[in-house]
Amino acid sequence: MTRHATKPFAGQKPGTSGLRKKTRVFMQPDYLENFVQATFDAIGGVRGKTLVLGGDGRFYGAEAAQVILKMAAANHAARVIVGQGAWLSTPAASNLIRSRGADGGLILSASHNPGGPDEDFGVKYNIANGGPAPETVTDAIFARAVALTSYAKADLPDIDLGRIGEISFGDMRVEVVDPVALYADLIEELFDFNALRDLFKAGFRVRIDSMNAITGPYAVEIFERRLGAAAGSVMHETPLPDFGGMHPDPNPTWAHELMAIMMGDDAPDFGAASDGDGDRNMILGAGVYVSPSDGLAVLAANAHLCPGYNAGLKGVARSMPTSMAVDRVAQTLGIACHETPTGWKFFGNLLDAGQVTLCGEESFGTGSDHVREKDGLWAVLMWLNIIARRGQSVAQILADHWARFGRNYYSRHDYEALPVDQANAILSDLCDRLADLPGQVVNGLTITAADEFSYTDPVDGSVSGHQGVRIQFDGGSRIVLRLSGTGTEGATLRLYLERYVAGPGGLHENPQTALAPIIAASDALVGLRARTGRSGPDVVT
Ligand code: VG1
Ligand code: CO
């Protein structure tokens, strides 16, 4: 018996990055099965196809992998390549899809959301280029999910995913592979590993916080084994189903243990953290925090120092709310800078078409055309390669960058778990006023432009509307407001604040202080605190 009757569930609409729900929602009978069958149907079935499967090790991931294998077998897939223990970081899954020529893959993760029976779970489908499914595909998945009446699942025993090797599973082949090796080999081609080994030999100290999530085994292999960093350089290196109670979101709030080390006495030279599925990164130097938007700009300005990028960049792309720091670098380099909606899926076409080499988002995500996902450890290695080549500290590299390009002070204020109606009303009220805003002076700042961001993909012409409100002020400052598409509780409003200072003075202020006039203007314009009744944002990054 492989065909099972089912009824659609409400809300199986993929968000910014796959379908994310409370774990117990996913654990309901038929819930995961429905979403997986809808995905298979939406891509024209999986008969004869090869899929990649793995995730970040969070609670329910191993069980979900068994369900998906049985469904792939019943849907006549030819082969599924699974990471040992159902483990694969998101960038490693992207690489596996690409290097094995697979037709697609399923990633089991809710990324930076916490894990456990009472926390979050997620499933994301990636296409043959290794990148997240574009909106045409996720729309098709949703359309199929609301009409589903049955799914196919083979009545076969669970597979031992702990053992590397290949077995038959019904008519399908299942190949369990080392999740780390292929990825580490790819990374080794992009960066100057000899220069990095010399750096560590000379006593350079790093602290990499894997936050009990998926990058642990990758970071130990790359930094401690291949590069010779001191044992113990990687902390929280064992992936745990509940991330050991940590919230694997690499920002100063959630990676506070690492922050304390890097801001303390005798701090190591370099620190970094990654998220649940390993695609995000936070970069720190001794006593300094690198804003992700600045990080993207620094990587763009220095990419040529790394072997994989020494021919220069074809172009760069950033998500709309990401600061405009990288735009200034692109201008100097004479390359295009694309502005896309939030979410890595919007970079795929530009990367495939060879129009951009480097991409980034303000949410601690950077990556390149080596895979089709953002990549936390890649960013760490690129920073280390630049440090090795320039012979400068993180603080010196940042100071040089600002002196050359000016500084885009930047911060994101998140108002989490708001009533959905309230969040929608705040955004739509603002949209109603946009046409009247240009020319108005708020808190001494003149509004030069105000619109709701809509993106037309330059490669396939597809249009994605309602991607957030942007209000631009005279002098290169702005505020952006949009709704999160990754949360699992209520609605989260994100307020992005940016102020440009050309220098030479005023380049070394505290960002929240430097942004005070922009914050005051946003209070006057949007009034988030007044309208939500909150005393301030829940998370400031
Ligand atoms: C957030 C970030 C976005 C990122 C997405 C997935 O989305 O803002 O930049 O691409 O998470 O990241 P949203 O819709 O909540 O703002 V990950 O590492 O959670 O896959
Ligand atoms: Co992630």
- pLDDT tens over the chain, length 541 residues: 599 999 999 999 998 889 999 999 999 999 999 999 999 999 999 999 999 999 999 999 999 999 999 999 999 999 999 999 999 999 999 999 999 999 999 999 999 999 999 999 999 999 999 999 999 999 999 999 999 999 999 999 999 999 999 999 999 999 999 999 999 999 999 999 999 999 999 999 999 999 999 999 999 999 999 999 999 999 999 999 999 999 999 999 999 999 999 999 999 999 999 999 999 999 999 999 999 999 999 999 999 999 999 999 999 999 999 999 999 999 999 999 999 999 999 999 999 999 999 999 999 999 999 999 999 999 999 999 999 999 999 999 999 999 999 999 999 999 999 999 999 999 999 999 999 999 999 988 999 999 999 999 999 999 999 999 999 999 889 999 999 988 778 899 999 999 999 989 999 999 999 999 999 999 889 888 888 988 889 989 9
DSSP state of 345: G
DSSP state of 15: B
- Cβ-contact 329, 317 below 8 angstroms: no
Length of the chain, in residues: 541
For the CA of 344, the nearest atom of ligand 1: 10
Pocket of ligand 1 (CB under 6 A): 16-17, 111-112, 275, 279-280, 319, 342-344, 361, 363, 365, 484-486, 494
What's the pLDDT at 486?
83
Q: SS3 for 433?
A: helix
- Angle ∠(18,24,30) on CA atoms, nearest 5: 75
Torsions phi, psi for 496 (to 5 deg): -110, 130
The CA distance from 286 to 394, in Å, is 8
Count Cβ neighbours within 10 Å for each residue of 191-221 and write b for 16 or more, e otherwise. bbbebbeebbeeebebbbbbbbbbbbbbbbb
CA 37 to ligand 2 centroid distance, Å: 24
User: Dihedral through CA 354, CA 331, CA 274, CA 206, nearest 10?
Assistant: 120
**CA 17 and chain centroid, separation:** 8
- Cβ-contact 104, 270 below 8 angstroms: no
Whether pTM > 0.85 for this model: the answer is yes
The CA distance from 16 to 341, in Å, is 10
The CA distance from 77 to 72, in Å, is 5
Give burial (CB, 10 Å; 0-12/13-18/19+) of 139: middle
3-state helix, strand, coil in the chain (%, to 5): 35, 25, 40
Tell me the angle at which helices 181-190 and 90-99 cross, rounded to the nearest 10 degrees.
90
Beta bridge partners of 123: 19, 108
Q: Which residues are the active-site residues?
A: 111
Q: Give how far Cα 235 sits from Cα of 289, 433, 524, Å.
A: 18, 49, 43
What element of type H or E holds 234? strand 234-235
The CA distance from 184 to 151, in Å, is 37
Which is nearest to 130 in space by CA: 152, 103, 109? 103
Nearest residue (by CA) to ligand 1, atom 5, is 343
Nearest residue (by CA) to ligand 1, atom 10, is 343
What element of type H or E holds 272? strand 270-274
Q: Which of 125, 342, 362 to mutate for ligand 1's pocket (most ligand atoms within 8 Å of CB)? A: 342
In 335-476, at which residue ranges do the beta strands (DSSP E only) sit?
336-340, 358-361, 365-368, 407-418, 441-442, 445-452, 455-456, 463-464, 469-473
Nearest residue (by CA) to ligand 1, atom 20, is 111
What's the pLDDT at 17?
87
The CA distance from 242 to 26, in Å, is 16
For the CA of 362, the nearest atom of ligand 1: 9
- Residue whose entry in the numeric block shows the structure tokens 């929280």: 236
Q: Which two tokens stand for residue 339?
A: 């502005």
Count Cβ neighbours within 10 Å for each residue of 339-376 and write b for 16 or more, e otherwise. bbbbbbbbbbbbbeeebbbbbbbbbbbbbbbbbbbbbb
What element of type H or E holds 495? strand 491-501
What's the pLDDT at 1?
59
The CA distance from 275 to 213, in Å, is 7
What's the pLDDT at 485?
83
For the CA of 112, the nearest atom of ligand 1: 19
The CA distance from 134 to 43, in Å, is 12
CA 16 to ligand 1 centroid distance, Å: 6
Give burial (CB, 10 Å; 0-12/13-18/19+) of 163: exposed
